[in-house]
Amino acid sequence: MMTKQVRYEALVKALHGDLYRYAYWLCHEKQVAEDLVQETFLRAWRALDSLKDEKAAKPWLITILRRENARRFERKRFDMSEYEEANITDTKSVTTEQELENYWLREKIAQLPPEYSEPLILQVLGGFSGEDIATMLNLNKNTVMTRLFRARNQLKEALEAEPVKRGIYNG
């Protein structure tokens, strides 16, 4: 018989990475994302007995996290148009072409409207099916599929519109 503590630690170890990334893409700020994940896991600990099926853990945690994120906006209204200033993740060691591309694509993803980026992140990062995402976001499945289509479409167009040479070439 697993104790509550063991269950909790297993849950943290298995899912904190995914949850953190998801939180990061929700709020675009490292510190806020970390706080969100902490709040989420604290709530998860209190309600751990209500989690019957271990397979349902990930959607369950994501639902808690989304609620926490919504609460953050109730407490304090952020000006959403300002988020471009909150810079998009680590750019310290942009060395290879690959990382340059990552950086560039991150900016594009961050610029997607949240209603498009959220299902995309859930699908790509979380590996959820269209139905799963629809339940988590309280949406119709067709709506989710349309948003996924639009999200990828926008990213693809942006990639195609991009100049072949990116970055700064000195000399």
Distance between CA 61 and CA 73 in Å, rounded? 19
Q: Which of 50, 81, 96, 98 binds another protein (CB under 8 A)?
A: 98
Instruction: Choose between 50 and 170: whose C-beta lies nearer to another protein.
Output: 50
The helix-helix angle for 97-111 and 114-124 (nearest 10°) equals: 130
Could you tell me which stretch among 66-74, 78-86, 104-112, 161-169 binds another protein (CB under 8 A)? 104-112
- Max Cα distance, the chain (Å): 66
Residue 61 contacts another protein per CB under 8 A: no
- Using the rule CB under 8 A, is 148 a contact of another protein? yes
Binds another protein by CB under 8 A, chosen from 57, 86, 94, 145 = 145
Interacting residues of 26 by C-beta distance below 8 A, sequence separation 6+: 33, 36, 65, 66, 69, 114, 118
d(CA 161, CA 143): 27
Question: Does 153 help bind another protein (rule: CB under 8 A)?
Answer: yes
> Within positions 8 to 47, which residues make up the interface with another protein, using CB under 8 A?
8-9, 12-13, 16-17, 20-21, 24-25, 30, 34, 37-38, 41-42, 45
Between residues 72 and 152, which has the closer beta carbon with respect to another protein? 152
Per CB under 8 A, does 125 bind another protein?
Answer: yes
d(CA 83, CA 153): 23
SS (H, E, C) 113-147: CHHHHHHHHHHHCCCCCHHHHHHHHCCCHHHHHHH
Residues that bind another protein (CB under 8 A): 8-9, 12-13, 16-17, 20-21, 24-25, 30, 34, 37-38, 41-42, 45, 89-90, 98, 101-102, 105-106, 109, 120-121, 123-125, 130, 145-146, 148-149, 152-153, 155-156, 159
